[in-house]
Homo-oligomer: A and B are copies of this chain.
């Protein structure tokens, strides 16, 4: 399979596939007689998994760590598992946080709903959230 077809089948551009190879996310592809990449269909499974990691918020540098472990054989299974478990925890936390936000959003939307029905005066909708302090800024290195 040439890069164009792979691109069509995985939903990435040929440019992106080459970029992934360049940075090491994809293994160096075999070249045919004319120096063109010739892919095995099995690469699709790996690309799909990468996509999964990406959409769950894993930065490329972490995917790279996983990709490199994967490239060095079964001896690294333990480490790879650890990496995934860590990521799993992060994803679960993200879900919890989003669910929390969803109820805040719902409350706010309900506020607008009431305002429309005149159940409140023309006073602006109250911008209220649980009073938790928000700490976005973590330790500043450097």
Contact = CB atoms under 8 A, between A and B. Distances in A.
A29 interface: no
Interface in A86-142: 87-88, 91-92, 94-95, 97-99, 101-102, 104-106, 108-109, 112-113, 115-116, 122, 124-125, 127-129, 133-137
Interface residues of A, number: 51
A105 to B, nearest CB: 5
Interface of A: 10-13, 45-49, 51-52, 55-56, 74, 77-78, 80-81, 84-85, 87-88, 91-92, 94-95, 97-99, 101-102, 104-106, 108-109, 112-113, 115-116, 122, 124-125, 127-129, 133-137
